[in-house]
Homo-oligomer: A and B are copies of this chain.
Amino acid sequence: MTAPDQPLRADARRNREAVLDAASALFAQHGGDVQMNDIAERAGVGVGTLYRHFSDKQSLQAAIIGRRFAAVAGLAERAEKIDDPWAALEAVLRGYLEAADADAGFRFSILSPIEPAWDDIVREKAGFAASVARITQRAADAGLVRSDFTADDFILLTRGAMANMGGEHEGWRRFLALALEGVRVT
């Protein structure tokens, strides 16, 4: 499950990316109900090819999440280098949510009632999660957030914000302001 790692043939890799791009684009346009056939068509591949890369819809959702986690891992590492522990925490939180706001496919996948196939993306998740854990820990140790604040709480807030994104609900920034007020120690 944890990625075979044998480098894909050039065209296969291209197709894989094309499918992911197509899925993201379609998720952004329509909300949530996107068809596998449409994704394949938009990606310029046959449905069979889509299924060769992603065994089912959950697996495709997981891949979308994995790709986003890989992207924000860099952001998290940069945040770790910020001296002020509070500023570092705010940077990952904001950066992560800003990315989520721009990536409807990611949001729908994360909040989907059908759980995404997390097993497919343990690696991608681990990197980001480790950075976040260190950042939250540091902020708590410095007494800048409640002493019991953990990476799990980061996820809670993050899910909460995403539930207020997209379509009608653009209140997530306000939500974040309220939530941070409850976490910060001043």
Is the CB of A94 closer than 8 A to any CB of chain B? no
- Interface residues on chain A, number (Cβ under 8 Å): 34
Q: Are the CB atoms of A115 and B178 closer together than 8 Å?
A: no
**Alpha-carbon separation in the docked complex, A85 to B44 (Å):** 59
Q: A111's closest neighbor in chain B, by CB?
A: B163
Whether B31 pairs with A113 at a CB distance below 8 angstroms is yes
**Set of chain B residues within 8 Å of A88, measured between Cβ atoms:** none
Binds B, one of A4-12, A13-21, A64-72, A154-162: A154-162
Given A182-B180, A182-B181, residue A113 in contact with residue B160 (CB < 8 A): no
- B31, B153, B174, B178: which contacts A114 (Cβ < 8 A)? B31
Q: List 14 A-B contacts (CB under 8 A).
A: A32-B112, A32-B114, A108-B113, A111-B163, A146-B181, A153-B174, A157-B178, A159-B163, A160-B160, A160-B161, A160-B179, A162-B163, A179-B179, A182-B182
